[in-house]
């Protein structure tokens, strides 16, 4: 069995500022705290998979600028392979401007995907060797969608299973879905994509049927502190989340998807992989940030042994 996996998706530098209140149009507010760090759904999910033990290659596109070093330095520190990174000559590395109200934790976010929204056919053609060897390819909806479509074509041609984490929400065609092995929306995305409210098991079952009818073999819907609903092999159940004191749930879905992929690549069933992924996410919500909050395999194994 192929054990390698690929995450194809975004990298952006998170530029986070805390402020006494969120500025209104035209207002300048003096902030109280600033932090810069690696982010982007693709990168976060890849870091989660790598730290939990997967043999994973990140495929993304950066600019030729100092923000690219934020990705490259993180990858060096974590020992991640860099041969799936492409560079744009005339577009900057993506960024996310994140403003957080220090009193209410309300936020405002602007994402400029930059280089990772300019992935060309020439770039995707260069991914063939990674995709050929991969058991699974995990995508999100944060890069240019035509690049995702080409990656899916390649994955299907070479027998790699495609998992799409449908985040952030963007409309996707039935044709696109018909080529996907598994989708992993959260409750909100599941409702946006199917029109069916997903608040409980009944709603999740109905939404899953919509995906199955479009040709998706397996459906996972992450449901925050409730856990994750799975519809696979004729079984439809919720695998409950672990009870923890959540400090910061941003990136919970990314931790879940990365951990889930690690477990699948080791031959776990979806049900066992969901427990592993719930643990990965439960550890991440107890820490601040996205990329830095992803737990190691040792931490996940210890957590599972305790629960
Ligand atoms: P997203 O971050 O994409 O909105 P969810 O909120 O559905 O995704 O969370 C993804 C996963 O993270 C859940 O399926 C669960 O395993 C875990 N999780 C999220 N919030 C909590 C929480 N408060 N306590 C424990 N686990 C959580």
Indicate if ligand 1 lies below 6 Å from the C-beta of 52: no
Q: For residue 126, how far is its CA from the centre of ligand 1 (angstroms)?
A: 34
3: helix, coil or strand?
Answer: coil
Q: For residue 184, how far is its CA from the centre of ligand 1 (angstroms)?
A: 12
Q: For residue 250, how far is its CA from the centre of ligand 1 (angstroms)?
A: 9
Cβ neighbors of 120 (< 8 A, separation 6 or more) are 147
Q: What is the DSSP letter of 215?
A: T
Q: Which helix (H) or strand (E) holds 204?
A: helix 201-213
Cβ 48 vs Cβ 294: under 8 Å:
yes
Indicate if ligand 1 lies below 6 Å from the C-beta of 282: yes
Indicate if ligand 1 lies below 6 Å from the C-beta of 31: no
Q: For residue 246, how far is its CA from the centre of ligand 1 (angstroms)?
A: 9
Q: Point out the residues of the chain with pLDDT beneath 70.
A: 1-2
Number of other residues whose CB lies within 10 A of the CB of residue 85: 18
Q: Is 254 a catalytic residue?
A: yes
**In the numeric block, which tokens belong to residue 205?**
């079952």
**In the numeric block, which tokens belong to residue 217?**
């073999």
Q: For residue 157, how far is its CA from the centre of ligand 1 (angstroms)?
A: 33
Q: What is the DSSP string of 244-269?
A: ---S--TTHHHHHHHHHHHHHHTT--
Q: Which helix (H) or strand (E) holds 176?
A: helix 174-178
Cβ 265 vs Cβ 54: under 8 Å:
yes
Q: How far apart are CA 294 and CA 199, in angstroms?
A: 27
Q: How far apart are CA 59 and CA 79, in angstroms?
A: 15
Indicate if ligand 1 lies below 6 Å from the C-beta of 227: yes
Q: What is the pLDDT of residue 117?
A: 98
Atom of ligand 1 nearest to the CA of 242: 25
Q: How far apart are CA 265 and CA 55, in angstroms?
A: 9
Give the length of the chain.
307
Q: What is the pLDDT of residue 1?
A: 63
Indicate if ligand 1 lies below 6 Å from the C-beta of 252: yes
Q: What is the DSSP letter of 116?
A: G
Selecting among 92, 245, 254, 301, the annotated active-site residue is 254
Tell the residue nearest (CA) to atom 19 of ligand 1.
224
Q: What is the DSSP letter of 288?
A: S
Q: How far apart are CA 134 and CA 226, in angstroms?
A: 31
Q: What is the DSSP string of 154-200?
A: HHHHHTPEEEE---S-----HHHHHT-SEE--BHHHHHHHHS---SS
> Which among 227, 242, 249 is the best mutation to test ligand 1's pocket, defined by most ligand atoms within 8 Å of the CB?
249
- Burial (CB count <10 Å: 0-12, 13-18, 19+), residue 162: buried
């Amino acid at each position: 069995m192929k054990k390698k996996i690929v995450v194809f998706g975004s990298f952006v530098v998170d530029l986070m500022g805390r402020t006494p209140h969120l500025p209104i149009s035209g207002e300048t507010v003096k902030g109280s705290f600033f932090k810069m760090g690696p982010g982007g759904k693709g990168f976060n999910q890849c870091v989660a998979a790598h730290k939990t033990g997967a043999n994973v290659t990140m495929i993304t596109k950066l600019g030729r600028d100092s923000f690219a070093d934020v990705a490259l330095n993180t990858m060096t520190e974590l020992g991640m392979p860099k041969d799936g990174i492409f560079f744009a000559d005339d577009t900057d590395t993506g960024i996310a401007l994140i403003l957080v109200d220090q009193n209410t934790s309300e936020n405002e976010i602007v994402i400029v995907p930059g280089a990772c929204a300019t992935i060309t056919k020439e770039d995707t053609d260069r991914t063939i060797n990674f995709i050929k060897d991969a058991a699974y390819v995990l995508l999100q909806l944060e890069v240019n969608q035509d690049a995702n479509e080409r990656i899916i074509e390649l994955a299907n041609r070479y027998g790699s299973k495609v998992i799409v984490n449908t985040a952030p929400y963007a409309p996707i065609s039935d044709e696109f879905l018909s080529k996907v092995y598994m989708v992993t929306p959260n409750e909100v995305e599941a409702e946006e994509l199917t029109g069916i409210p997903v608040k409980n098991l009944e709603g999740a079952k109905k939404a899953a049927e919509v995906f199955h009818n479009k040709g998706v073999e397996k459906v996972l819907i992450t449901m925050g502190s409730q856990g994750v609903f799975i519809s696979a092999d004729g079984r439809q159940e919720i695998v409950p989340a672990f009870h923890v004191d959540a400090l910061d749930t941003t990136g919970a879905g990314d931790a879940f998807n990365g951990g889930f992929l690690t477990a699948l690549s080791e031959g776990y069933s979806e049900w066992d992989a969901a427990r592993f992924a719930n643990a990965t996410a439960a550890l991440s919500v107890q820490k601040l940030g996205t990329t830095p909050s992803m737990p190691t395999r040792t931490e996940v194994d210890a957590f599972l042994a305790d629960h």
